[in-house]
């Protein structure tokens, strides 16, 4: 089967993976899947390109065990595949990583120092890297960063109005979901080349949510900042709040750092506001007034951020919805665009309900798209470029037998 790239996206309760073959320097999806529900009711789902889907209960209580199950599945299903490189989604690259990086010992310790900036994500990303280093000794491991897409913003888009030395020390806005935004920028350039070069706002609305303003397919502003808390409300994260409120909770309610971390990262957002669920599907299905309040708040903040990003861009040529909510929620898209004609955004309701790729009306000055993000393909592409992989261009670091051994 030849050279393959494995991508790993290790989150708090799931490990997603994808296997790509490399054909003349381009990635071709062979299979993908995920171990999810880790720590609760784990499931293992797989999908073979052009073949079967499967789903089973998973006998794994932690990430290491999940990783072993994934490796075993790949080895037994694709016995001839030679994995020549592994790409990892890494949420935070800090100031030092503006591009994908080959992981060396020093890289791991640099990435570990960024854990406080992304406590919900970075430890799991690192666990995925460590598991893959063990399973694939000698195989290049590449870190692909969510922050890298946003490096190069103007000072005003990266700064907080704190004393200047805070900015110089790296206490600044970074932005996240960069792999998703790169996926959308790439798709836009083939779907609508002229608008892709113009003023594009992408709303990545999933369990984590942010929006990004782009020009020439590059990020110029993002709603997420120093940590993955700022901006839009999310499944369990608060999004924008007044820092004075945090001071109040510390001073008058005696909250500790650990309690605040739990409150802001795990108990807020849609889950906190609704008291029902962090999951948009569940909220849409719920009759509880608090569930409807939570959706209304989500949409309200989204509309505010679209307006703010449009001001940054001096207008808008295209708006793209992506992420689980952006790709699937007819209701959120319709509510976000209601009365937005002043900004040149007019919804084609029928196209929205049908879930078409283009959902703007013919009289809409700006185009509105719904595009499926593909972070795994972006990781694979970054791996190919960073490791210089072409079909047959490398000596396989190890063969199928080694892979079987590694997975045991
Ligand atoms: P993601 O993190 O990108 O996987 O997105 C997860 C979010 O997408 C959850 O809030 C889901 O409820 C939401 N989602 C997925 N499918 C739908 C759907 N058909 N309608 C509304 N929300 C959905």
Which residue is closest in CA terms to ligand 1's atom 4?
324
In a domain, 204, yes or no: yes
**Both 15 and 131 in a single domain?**
yes
Q: Are residues 112 and 202 in the same domain?
A: no
Instruction: Give the atom of ligand 1 at the shortest distance from the alpha carbon of 283.
Output: 12
Is 167 inside any structural domain?
no
Do 25 and 139 sit in the same domain of this protein?
Answer: yes
Say what the pLDDT of residue 39 is.
77
> Which residue of the set 36, 146, 158, 317 is catalytic?
146
313 and 259 housed in the same domain: yes
pLDDT at 14: 85
Residue 158 within any structural domain of the chain? no
Ligand 1 in contact with 259 (CB < 6 A)? no
Which residue's CA is minimally distant from atom 19 of ligand 1?
328
Same domain for 198 and 279? Answer: yes
What integer pLDDT is reported at residue 393 of this predicted model? 45
214 and 323 share a domain?
yes
Would you say residue 136 lies in a domain? yes
Domain interval for residue 234: 192-370
- Establish whether 146 is a catalytic residue: yes
Ligand 1, atom 17: nearest CA belongs to which residue? Answer: 328
Q: Is the CB of 323 under 6 A from ligand 1?
A: yes
Domain count, the chain: 2
Instruction: State whether 339 and 202 are in the same domain.
Output: yes
What does the pLDDT read at residue 405?
Answer: 35
Question: Is there a single domain that holds both residue 107 and residue 242?
Answer: no
pLDDT means over runs of 10, the chain (408 residues): 90 89 90 89 93 91 86 89 95 94 94 91 92 89 97 96 97 97 98 97 96 98 96 97 98 97 96 96 97 98 98 98 97 98 98 98 97 97 88 41 35
Shared-domain flag, residues 12 and 90: yes
Residue 172 belongs to some domain of the structure: no
Residue 218 domain flag: yes
Q: HEC states along the chain? A: CEEEEEEEEECCCCEEEEEEEEECCEEEEEEEEEEECCCCCCEEEEEECCCCEEEEECCCCCHHHHHHHHHHHHHHHCCCEEEEEEEEEECCCCCCCCCCEECCHHHHHHHHCCHHHCCCCHHHHHHHHHHHHHHCCCCCEEEEECCHHHCCCCHHHHCCCCCHHHHHCCCCCCCCCHHHHHHHHHHHHHHCHHHHCCEEEEEEECCCEEEEEEECCEEEEECCCCCCCCCCCCCCCCCCCCHHHHHHHHHHHCCCHHHHHHHHHHCCHHHHHHCCCCCHHHHHHCCCHHHHHHHHHHHHHHHHHHHHHHHHHCCCCEEEEEHHHHHHCHHHHHHHHCCCHHHCCCECHHHHHHCCCECECCCCCCEEEECCCCHHHHHHHHHHHHHCCCCCCCCCCCCHHHHHHHHC
| 206 C-beta closer than 6 A to ligand 1 | yes
Task: Say if residue 394 is in the same domain as residue 325.
Answer: no
Residue 11 beta carbon below 6 angstroms from any ligand 1 atom: no
- Nearest residue by C-alpha to atom 18 in ligand 1: 328
Query: Is the CB of residue 280 below 6 angstroms from any atom belonging to ligand 1?
Result: yes
Q: Give residue 12's pLDDT.
A: 75
Residue bearing the CA closest to ligand 1, atom 8: 324
Task: For residue 373, give the ligand 1 atom closest to its CA.
Answer: 3
Flag whether 220 is in a domain.
yes
CATH of the domain at 324: 3.30.420.40
Tell me, yes or no, whether 163 lies in a domain: no
Q: Verify whether ligand 1 is closer than 6 Å to residue 203 (CB atom).
A: no
Alpha-carbon separation of residue 292 from 103, 210, 277, 295, 336 (angstroms): 45, 21, 11, 5, 14
Most informative mutation of 14, 232, 324, 371 for ligand 1 (most atoms within 8 A of CB): 324
The answer to whether residues 288 and 208 belong to one domain is: yes
* Domain shared by 356 and 395, yes or no: no
């Amino acid at each position: 089967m030849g050279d393959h790239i494995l991508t790993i996206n290790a989150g708090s309760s799931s490990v997603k993976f994808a296997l790509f073959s490399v054909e003349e320097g381009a990635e071709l999806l062979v299979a993908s899947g995920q171990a999810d529900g880790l720590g609760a009711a784990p499931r293992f789902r797989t999908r073979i390109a052009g073949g079967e889907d499967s789903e089973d209960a998973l006998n794994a209580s932690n990430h290491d065990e999940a990783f072993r199950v994934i490796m075993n599945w790949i080895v037994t299903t694709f016995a001839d595949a030679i994995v020549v490189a592994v790409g990892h989604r890494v949420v935070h690259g800090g100031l030092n990583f503006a591009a994908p990086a080959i992981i060396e010992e020093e890289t791991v310790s640099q990435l570990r120092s960024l854990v406080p900036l992304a406590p919900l994500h970075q430890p799991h990303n690192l666990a995925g890297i460590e598991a893959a280093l063990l399973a694939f000794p000698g195989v290049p491991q590449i870190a692909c960063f969510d922050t890298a897409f946003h490096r190069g913003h103007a000072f005003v888009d990266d700064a907080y109005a704190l004393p200047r030395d805070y900015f110089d020390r790296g206490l600044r806005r970074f932005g996240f979901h960069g792999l998703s935004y790169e996926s959308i920028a790439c798709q836009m350039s083939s779907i609508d080349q002229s608008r892709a070069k113009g003023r594009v706002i992408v709303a990545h609305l999933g369990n984590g949510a942010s929006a990004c303003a782009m020009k020439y397919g590059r990020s110029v502003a993002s709603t997420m900042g120093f940590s993955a808390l700022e901006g839009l409300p999310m499944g369990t994260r608060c999004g924008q709040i007044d820092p004075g409120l945090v001071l109040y909770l510390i001073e008058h309610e005696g909250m500790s750092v650990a309690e605040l971390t739990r409150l802001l990262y795990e108990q807020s957002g849609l889950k906190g506001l609704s008291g029902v669920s962090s999951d948009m599907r569940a909220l849409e299905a719920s009759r509880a007034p608090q569930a409807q309040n939570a959706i209304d708040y989500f949409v309200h903040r989204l509309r505010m951020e679209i307006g703010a990003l449009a001001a940054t861009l001096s207008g808008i040529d295209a708006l793209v919805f992506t992420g689980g909510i952006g790709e699937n929620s007819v209701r959120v898209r319709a509510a976000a665009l209601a009365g937005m004609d002043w900004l040149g955004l007019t919804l084609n309701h029928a196209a929205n309900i049908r879930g078409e790729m283009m959902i703007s009306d013919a009289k809409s000055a700006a185009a509105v798209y719904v595009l499926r993000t593909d972070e795994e393909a972006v990781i694979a592409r970054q791996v190919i470029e960073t490791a210089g992989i072409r079909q047959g261009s490398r000596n396989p670091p190890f063969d199928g037998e080694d892979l079987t051994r590694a997975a045991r």
